[in-house]
Amino acid sequence: RSPRRRSRSGRRSRSPRGRRSRSHSPHHGAVRVKQERDDHCRRGNDERKQRHPSEQEHRRDRSSDRDRHRDHSERKKNPGDRPGARGHERDLQNLREQQAEREFYNERRREHRQGTEGSDQSAELRQPESKPKDKAAANKEKPSFELSGALLEDTNTFWGVLIKYSEPPEARIPKTRWRLYPFKNDEFLPVMYIHRQSAYLLGRHRRIADIPIDHPSCSKQHAVFQYRLVEYTRADGTVGRRVRPYIIDLGSGNGTFLNNQRIEPQRYYELKEKDVLKFGFSSREYVLLHESSDKSEANAKDDDDEEEKEEESDS
């Protein structure tokens, strides 16, 4: 028996040779390609559904929105048929009541504000009449812009050194030409002309002293020779003014001596012609004279005339 012969049942033999011929037939290949294409499309749809599961939900939502929009348009056309028409009217009535209540309370606030402003204005009008003492007290407590001690220290400096002394308001430059004649034992020293300024500082600090004193017992700022405009009584009983020399000690350690008597510190002493000054333990003596001191006493009237001229020029 050959394998190509049919069996008794009428079927072909299932030999590998026959199967190979059937699989390679063109009809069988087309069917197989179609099945594979259908399977591929089915798998793609399944994968797309798995990736985008919300597409169907979106479609359903769009359809439900369309239905709601249709219902809303129908309700607009027939407002009496809406189920919520009565509720809307009730809301409008509540809104009107709230607005009326708000206006009522606003009116009450305005009235209260006007009443408080009127009371404040009346209190301000009554205040100056009822409390004059308080206003006087406030005037007394005004700030003072006068120089304090720290500012005076800054302004009363010379060459970077703080000066312990400040001139009084009655300080004047004299018309009389006063002079100091210094003597050391019996030795005569150069004359000092002290009529060009209203004050002369005496001390050991040569940077600021007008009249330097080099003795170690003297202070750096020892004393001040000051001219002052003072009042005096004339022979006829009238009161006049003239410029006179004074000496003041600035609190030195060893003191200032006027005619061999130690003077008190921080106090003015009037000087007269032929007075002798000494400072500390220095052996130098300073005699006070002026340009007409070498004349006779008969010319004293001329000195009085000069003083009267000074008074007239100062006044």
Residue 232 covered by a domain = yes
Residue 103 covered by a domain = no
Number of C-beta neighbours around residue 204 at 10 A: 19
Give yes or no for a contact between 276 and 287, defined as CB atoms under 8 angstroms apart.
Answer: yes
CA distance linking residue 247 with residue 263, whole number of Å: 9
Per-residue pLDDT at 130: 47
CA distance linking residue 281 with residue 251, whole number of Å: 15
CA distance linking residue 126 with residue 181, whole number of Å: 75
What CATH number does the domain containing 180 carry?
2.60.200.20
Residue 274 covered by a domain = yes
Per-residue pLDDT at 248: 94
Per-residue pLDDT at 279: 94
**Domain interval for residue 236:** 172-295
Residue 37 covered by a domain = no
- Mind spelling out the 3-state secondary structure of the chain? CCCCCCCCCCCCCCCHHHHHHHHCCHHHHHHHHHHHHHHHHHHHHHHHHHHCCHHHHHHHHHHHHHHHHHHHHHHHHCHHHCCCHHHHHHHHHHHHHHHHHHHHHHHHHHHHHHHHHHHHHHHHHHHHHHCHHHHHHHHHCCCCCCCCHHHHHHHCEECCEECCCCCCCCECCCCCCEEEEEEECCEECCCEECCCCCEEEEECCCCCCCEECCCCCCCCCCEEEEEEEEEEECCCCCEEEEEEEEEEECCCCCCEEECCEECCECCEEECCCCCEEEECCCCEEEEEEECCCCCCHHHHHHHHHHHHHHHHHHC
Give yes or no for a contact between 176 and 280, defined as CB atoms under 8 angstroms apart.
Answer: no
CA distance linking residue 88 with residue 118, whole number of Å: 46
Residues 6+ apart with CB under 8 A from 6: 12, 13
Residue 105 covered by a domain = no
For the chain, the domain total comes to: 1
Instruction: Kindly tell me the sign of the dihedral angle through the C-alpha atoms of 180, 183, 188, 190.
Output: negative
Per-residue pLDDT at 86: 67
Give yes or no for a contact between 30 and 23, defined as CB atoms under 8 angstroms apart.
Answer: no
Exposed/middle/buried for 50, CB within 10 Å: 0-12, 13-18, 19+?
exposed
Classify 255 in phi/psi space as left (phi over 0), alpha (psi -120 to 50) or beta: left
Phi, psi of 289 (to 5 degrees): -140, 170
Tokens of 41: 């499309």
CA distance linking residue 310 with residue 304, whole number of Å: 10
Per-residue pLDDT at 11: 54
Give yes or no for a contact between 280 and 222, defined as CB atoms under 8 angstroms apart.
Answer: yes
Number of C-beta neighbours around residue 250 at 10 A: 19
Amino acid identity, position 7: S
Residue 203 covered by a domain = yes
Per-residue pLDDT of the chain (315 residues; tens, 9 = 90+): 455 555 455 555 555 555 555 555 566 667 778 788 888 888 877 777 666 556 666 677 777 777 777 776 766 666 555 555 667 788 888 888 888 888 888 888 888 888 777 666 665 555 554 455 555 555 555 665 655 555 444 557 776 778 888 899 999 999 999 999 999 888 888 999 999 999 999 999 888 889 999 899 999 999 999 999 999 888 888 988 999 999 999 999 899 999 999 999 999 999 999 999 999 999 899 999 988 876 444 344 445 555 555 555 555
Residue 11 covered by a domain = no
Residue 285 covered by a domain = yes
